[in-house]
């Protein structure tokens, strides 16, 4: 374990506190801009399959993006949280087919495709709280996406890893551990940034 890891809980609390200060209008406006910018990414818009997630609360909004991808004929896979914190996957079939799940999440009610379904994705949209100039992402700390990233790496899937954030969540440095993997691109309301190290 890297000693840098000790800074993760404090940084998470700081970033979550800043999100709580955002108004619903702030979140809604950012969501529209994020969807437009993300749909401009060829890695997302031209993919046959994209793995994503449904934003909740003050997270940077993904719902308009999910619908935009689906309208373009992209198959969108959404996570289903398993009891051991791993992620199963199911196809997104529209907002009316989302159901409430544990931890305040929304999940698709369709057929479960298994934990390896993510390997079919050409792009994976990861939730996050921050990313730094190296592309290192700070997640919520549950480890679910660490498993997904490990699975992708072992399979040599070559999927593009992207994260949607607010502008202030692109930070100087994110504490990291040996298992942490960088993302390829971050999309914020202020612009898109690609990372060479990923």
- Report pLDDT digits (tens) over 52-68: 999 998 999 999 999 99
pTM for the predicted model, two decimal places: 0.90
Query: What mean pLDDT, rounded, does the chain reach?
Result: 91
Confidence of residue 105 (pLDDT cuts 50, 70, 90): confident
> What distances in angstroms separate CA 83 from CA 71, 80, 88, 110, one per listed residue?
32, 10, 10, 18
- Report the top-level CATH class of 3-194: alpha beta
Residue 75 has pLDDT above 70, yes or no: yes
Q: Where are the domains of the chain?
A: 3-194
> What distances in angstroms separate CA 51 from CA 43, 79, 132, one per listed residue?
12, 8, 22
Confidence of residue 133 (pLDDT cuts 50, 70, 90): very high
What is the mean predicted confidence (pLDDT) over 30-36? Answer: 94
Confidence of residue 3 (pLDDT cuts 50, 70, 90): very low
């Amino acid at each position: 374990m890297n000693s840098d890891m000790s800074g993760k809980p404090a940084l998470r609390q700081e970033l979550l506190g800043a999100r709580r200060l955002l108004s619903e209008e702030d979140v809604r406006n950012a969501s529209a801009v994020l969807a437009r910018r993300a749909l401009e990414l060829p890695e997302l818009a031209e993919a046959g399959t994209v793995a994503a997630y449904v934003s909740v609360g003050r997270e940077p909004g993904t719902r308009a993006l999910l619908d935009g991808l689906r309208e373009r004929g992209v198959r969108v896979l959404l996570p289903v949280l398993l009891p051991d914190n791993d992620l199963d996957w199911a196809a997104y079939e529209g907002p009316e087919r989302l159901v409430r799940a544990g931890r305040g999440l929304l999940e698709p009610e369709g057929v479960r495709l298994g934990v390896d379904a993510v390997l079919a994705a050409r792009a994976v949209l990861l939730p996050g709280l921050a990313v730094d100039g190296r592309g290192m992402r700070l997640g919520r700390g549950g480890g679910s996406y660490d498993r997904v990233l490990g699975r992708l790496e072992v399979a040599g899937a070559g999927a593009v890893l992207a994260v949607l954030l607010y502008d202030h969540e692109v930070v100087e440095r994110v504490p990291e551990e040996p298992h942490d993997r960088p993302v390829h691109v971050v999309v914020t309301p202020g612009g898109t940034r690609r990372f060479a190290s990923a």
